[in-house]
Structures are given as C-alpha cells and as structure tokens.
A and B are shown apart, each in its own frame.
Chain A
Amino acid sequence: MTVTDPHAPALRLEGVRKVYPMADGEVVALERADLTVDRGEIVALVGPSGSGKTTLCSIAGGILRASGGTIVVGGDDISGYSPKQLTAFRRRAVGFVFQTVNLVPFLTARENLLVVDEIGARTGAPARARADQLLEELGLADRAKNLPSQLSGGQRQRVAIGRALMNDPTLVLFDEPTSALDSKLGRQVMELIRSEMTARGIAAIVVTHDERITAFADRTVHISDGVLDA
C-alpha cells in the first residue's frame, strides 16, 4: 500500500481526457481537464446534463479509467493502476455518493456503513464504533436498524454520506446528492456535508445542476461539453 503524502493536494488532475469509442466515431466526454482540489476543500462542479460531471468524478474516484492524463489522489498517482489496484484504492482513499443507487436494500442503515469494513480490513469493533458515531452525527442513531425501504429520501442520502465517510477517505465525490430532494431538504443535506467535511478536513467534489447549492462550496468549477473553465 502506498503511503499517502499528507501535504499533497487531495486531488490533482492534469490533462485528463475521456473518450468513449462508439460505432459511429467517438464521444469526447472530457477534454484535457486540469483541476486541483486542496485538502479539506469543497469544490462545486456545475454544468448542464451530459457535460461530463459524472465522468470527471468517476475518473477521480478510480471507477473509470481515463483515456489520457494524470490523476493523483492524496499523492497516489493512480493513472496507471490495474483494475485490482483501483478496487483497493477506491476502498481505501475515496468516498462515493452516487447519483442513483446508493444503498444495499437488504442491509440496514448501520450495516450499509459496516459493509465498508466488511469488504476491506474487517476491523470489527473499531468499525462498529465509527459507524455508530457517524450515524449519531448524521442524526440517524434511532434509524440504525431500519432498512433503506423504511427510510425517507433525505435519511437515505444521509446514510449514503455516512457510508462515504466510513473509510476515512482523502476525497469524497458527491454526484448530485440533492437532486432527489426538495430544496429545503437539499439545503439541510448540503449543510451536513459542509460540516462533516470541514470537521474532518476531507476534500469533496459536489456535482450539481443547482447554482444555489454552490453557496456551500469553497469554490465553483463549471464544465460544459467536457471542458472545465479554469
């Protein structure tokens, strides 16, 4: 395992490209993206649908391989990682809150957090303590034993946030965390993200369509047609 440099930025993208080969030519989802996110910094990523936001987050989080460029997360250059190395990297260094499916339906709220430990180090008691603490902070202590189907949309989103924080990541990637929520709930979830990230000094990219959400970020980056504005 790589020793993460505590002074390196949380994320450094240099000239990252993503091209999807298609039957009739190719789709350029990301065009030479350069982006640096500092430790503890929250960056809002705003852009129209299909502009490449999810693509950028997936590459930064080691889910997708870039077609070119350099990706360094917390000092680890993951650009040349094999699928196996990327799996271990995702488990260790990043947290995800996805646009769609986020929770395992047959696991309770608490188990959806514990699963992070189960697929990795299996530390047992420390993981349970951490899960309970996160649920407490997220205001879900009394919902710990509920299945996702027994939770409201906002509660589910909070469980997903807790899950993303379980592995004490360097970087958390939120892909439209508020899109399924009304604006009041959306604001509450953003406040929660803000306070959790700040308290832990974890960097985050928050993807959104909603310009109002950007108020919670340190910085806003716009993307359109795969091109980032600097």
Chain B
Amino acid sequence: MFLALKEMRRAKVRFTLLMAAVGLLVFLILFQQSLQNGLITAFVGAVRNQSAPVLVYSVDGRRVIQGSVIGPELEAQVRDAVAGGRVGRIGQGTFTVTADDALSEATVLGYEEEGLGSPTTLVTGRLPQGPGEAVASAADEAAGFGVGDVVRIEPGGLEVRVVGLADDIQLNVAPTLFVAYETYLDAVRSRNPDAGTPPPNVLAVEPAPGISAGDTAALINAASDDLDALTRADAAAKTPGVAQVQQSFRVIFLLYGLVVPLVTGLFFLIVTFQKAPSLTLLRAIGAPAGRLVAALLVQVLLVVGGGLAIGIGLYAPLSVQRIGGITLRFETAAVIGWSIALLVLGTASSVVSARRVVAIDPAAALGGTGMDR
C-alpha cells in the first residue's frame, strides 16, 4: 500500500486524469445501457408488461401486432388447441389523438379480459371498467395522458378518459392506451364508420392448468401453419427490430469492454517503463517482486474503482431522466455487472506490466561499466 499510495499522491495529476477517463467511459457504458433498455422498453414494453403468458399472431403478421390478423377460422383452431385454458382477443391500432390540446400519435390496445392482455402493474389509478376508460403509459403523463385527462380519438372525436397509469407499457415509442376491447372497436369505428367489426390482431392465451406457456405455444403452432404463438418474453424479444437494436449495442459494449482495459493497461505499462530504475533499485535492496506487483495491482484497482465511482456518480442523476418518450432507469444489474467486469478486465490488463515488474533484473541497478542505464 505504502509504495502504491505514495506514488499516486506524488503523481496526482496523471492518476486523476486516468481515473477521470475511466470514469467517463464507465458513465458512457452505463448511460448507453440505460438507453438500450429504455429504447427496447419503449418499443415492446406493452408486450412485455401485459398479462397474457402466450400471444398468438398470424404468420403473415411477422410478429408485429398491428400487422397480424386472426380470422374466425384461426381463432377456432387456437381455442381448440388450448382446451382448458383461456383465450381473449387483442386489437391494436395507431390513432391520431388530441391530448392536452395538441395532436399526436397514440397506440390503442384493446383487450377482452383482465389477465389476457391487461397491464400487469399500475403505478396509480385502476384498470378500465367500462367503455371510454383507459390505462395510459406513465411516461406520457405530462403530455395529456395523466389520470383524469380526456384523450380524443380523431377524426371521429371519441373520448377516452385515463383512469390509471402503468410504467413501461408503450408500444412503438408512442403514448399507449390500454382499453376494453369494445372501446378499441369504438375507436376504430369512430375513425372509419364503415369499418364494421374488425377481427382481432392477436389472441391472448392463458395455458390450461398444469401446462407451461412454452408447451402451450408449441401446441398452438402445431395446430396450424398459419399461427405463430410465442410466450410473452419471446414475443417481446422477437419483435422485428429488437434483436437489431440489441446487436448494435452489443458491438458498442464490446468496444467499451476493450477500450477500458486497453487504456488502463497501456497507462500502467508506460508508468512501469518510466519507473523501471526505481523498481530495479527496490529489487536490488531486497524488495520481493511480489510486493512490487501487489503495489501495481493496488493502483490498478484504485484507478478502476475510482473510475467506477466517478462514472456511477455521473450516471446516477442522469439515469432517471426521460429522453423524448424514452424512460431511462438506474440499471442496478448493469452497474454491478460492469463494475465486476471492469475490475476483472483492468486487473487482466495489468498482466503485461506485472510481467515487466517480475522480469526486472536487480543487477541492472549496479550502473558503472557495461551496466549504465
């Protein structure tokens, strides 16, 4: 500790700069982690946080709710396949609405029954109990989607009153309203009086007792080539675009995962080269190589640890902001995961320096003929 700390104290600027650089990288990593999760949640939160364990799409729909149509024949096949379970309709559309006196786009999701497509957890209020009521995405509360606000579906002018709010129930990064199936049909008809009664987009399924969601999905898929049943988690993960977003971020994170240890590794290698005469002297007067390596490791851990503290310190206040319609969260799991990963990677990156330290020949301290350094 003595050597490690004294050196850091005497070379405050360079060690502080490195710590700040690591801190900035940590901040960027964590911030992007929040951004990724926020983005995906805004994209498919409605799928992830609805109550049906299994969703059934038509194959034509390519796993997009709005693109899927379940005609009467397919619906009958599903009901047969899940005998003993429950099946409910879900309809979804994107509507132009007036909220807070302004026109905007909103997603309306109608579900037939509680437990079959309703939001799982409310932050306030209650689920819709009658026509013209809705649970809105909490992220859009300030934009005219708060409890008690009335949202008008244009151009028909159908009024929907917000009676509850739920976190993370947006679909396609738009304000989202969960309504009773009848209200959804009313909305469609108010926009287009000739619409009649459109078929549901997807079916929500609760498996029969004793059968898992995965098995239920498999049963349905076996029943017809035109049906595409997915568990809730799969439906969210396999929505087109989600995998691509995750893939892009994975590349970014991989780069960060390389840059951080590269920066610390190079820094400590340079420092080790620069202080080689001191290290040689210490070896010559009897310092075990292990003590010098330990001092190096202490410095690496302090720098990475300090960088993590700085990074998390910057990230914490910014992680609870909203950017546009995207809600950021303080991602505890990411903070812990990256902290461990960076400490391990940082330590690993100092292996080259540690090897230099171990390889130092104390005889090089002798100076004089043939040994001048």
Contact = CB atoms under 8 A, between A and B. Distances in A.
Interface of A: 49-50, 53-54, 57-58, 63-64, 84, 87-92, 96, 98-107, 111, 114-116, 118-120, 147, 163, 167, 175-176
Nearest to A49: B369
B373 A119 contact: no
A120 B286 contact: yes
Contacts of A118: 2-3
Contact of A58 (B2, B278, B363): B363
27 contacts: A54-B368, A58-B366, A63-B362, A63-B365, A64-B363, A64-B366, A84-B288, A87-B283, A87-B287, A88-B286, A89-B286, A90-B362, A91-B286, A98-B281, A98-B367, A99-B367, A100-B368, A101-B373, A106-B7, A106-B11, A111-B2, A115-B282, A116-B285, A118-B3, A119-B287, A119-B288, A167-B286
A50 B371 CA distance: 11
A119 B285 contact: yes
A155 B365 CA distance: 20
A221 B283 CA distance: 29
A104 B288 contact: no
Contacts of A63: 284, 362-363, 365-366
A106 B278 contact: yes
B118 interface: no
The binding surface of chain B is classed by DSSP as helix
Contacts of A92: 286
A95 to B, nearest CB: 8
A20 to B, nearest CB: 8
Contact of B367 (A50, A100, A111, A167): A100
A91 B287 contact: yes
Given A49-B369, A54-B366, A54-B368, A163 B277 contact: no
B369 A54 contact: yes
B285 A101 contact: no
Nearest to B281: A101
Interface in B250-287: 275, 277-278, 280-287
Q: Find the residue from B283, B285, B362 having the highest chain A CB count within 10 A.
A: B285
A32 B283 CA distance: 28
A106 B281 contact: no
Contact of B281 (A87, A102, A120, A175): A102
Interface in B315-373: 362-363, 365-373
A130 B338 CA distance: 46
A98 B284 contact: yes
B144 to A, nearest CB: 62
Nearest to A106: B10
A147 B10 contact: yes
B366 A176 contact: no
The CB with the most chain A CB atoms within 10 A, among B284, B286, B291, is that of: B286
Interface residues of B, number: 31
A87 B366 CA distance: 15
A125 B369 CA distance: 40
A58 B280 CA distance: 14
Count chain B CB atoms within 10 A of each CB in A54, A99, A104 and give the residue with the most: A104
B67 to A, nearest CB: 67
Contacts of B284: 63, 90, 96, 98
8 smallest A-B Cβ distances: which pairs? A91-B286, A100-B367, A119-B287, A90-B286, A99-B367, A106-B10, A54-B368, A118-B2
Given A63-B284, A63-B362, A116-B285, A100 B369 contact: no
Nearest to A118: B2
Given A57-B366, A91-B285, A101-B280, 17 more contacts: A54-B366, A54-B367, A54-B369, A63-B366, A88-B288, A90-B286, A96-B285, A98-B284, A100-B367, A106-B11, A111-B6, A115-B3, A115-B282, A119-B285, A119-B286, A119-B291, A175-B368
Which of A87, A96, A167 is most buried by chain B, counting CB atoms within 10 A of its CB?
A87
Given A100-B372, A106-B10, A90 B285 contact: yes
Interface in B1-42: 2-3, 6-7, 10-11
B287 to A, nearest CB: 4
B371 A54 contact: yes
Interface string B292-323: 00000000000000000000000000000000
A59 B275 CA distance: 25
A115 B368 CA distance: 24
A89 B275 CA distance: 24
Contacts of A87: 283, 286-289, 362
B365 A101 contact: yes
B336 to A, nearest CB: 34
Nearest to B287: A119
A176 B367 CA distance: 11
A105 B278 contact: yes
Contacts of B277: 101
A131 B210 CA distance: 78
